[in-house]
Amino acid sequence: METDEIRKLEKIGVLSERLLNTLKPAEDKRGMYNAEIRIYDYYELVSIIRNLMKLCIIALDRDSAEVPPTIQNQNIDVGLIIGVALQLFPIDEFELINEISDLYHCRKDGTIVDSK
């Protein structure tokens, strides 16, 4: 293997250790991973769950498109749901993809792009 290719592979290894953060290997399931969300307390957790369930009710019953009147608080906190989705968005992994892309693509002048 050429010296330049070895340096690229070593760089990818360092970048992977630093940027592959969203998924953590699960200890109890082979080939499975965990993704975590950060919450303040049990009240926020139950709010997330309730809002997801209300959103699912509406998605399943498109004709009525409303939370059943038997549910006390019918409002859906869409911001809370989007906040959870943003926590799960793998931004570091996209940075890794960008860094790997920079390692393998040449600039128009023919020089190799050296990532940060």
Domain region containing 63: 1-107
Q: Examine residue 82 and state whether it is found in any structural domain, yes or no.
A: yes
Contacts of 9 (CB under 8 A, 6+ apart): 1
Q: Examine residue 112 and state whether it is found in any structural domain, yes or no.
A: no
Q: Taking 60 as the threshold, does the pLDDT of residue 11 lie above it?
A: yes
Report the pLDDT value the prediction gives residue 43, as an integer from 0 to 100.
Answer: 92
Q: Examine residue 64 and state whether it is found in any structural domain, yes or no.
A: yes
pLDDT tens per residue across span 48-79: 998 888 888 777 776 666 666 777 777 778 88
Residue corresponding to tokens 């070593």: 10
The answer to whether the predicted template modeling score (pTM) of the entire model surpasses 0.95 is: no
pLDDT band at 9 (very low <50, low <70, confident <90, very high): confident
Q: Examine residue 115 and state whether it is found in any structural domain, yes or no.
A: no
The CA distance from 44 to 34, in Å, is 20
Task: Work out how many domains the chain is built from and give that number.
Answer: 1
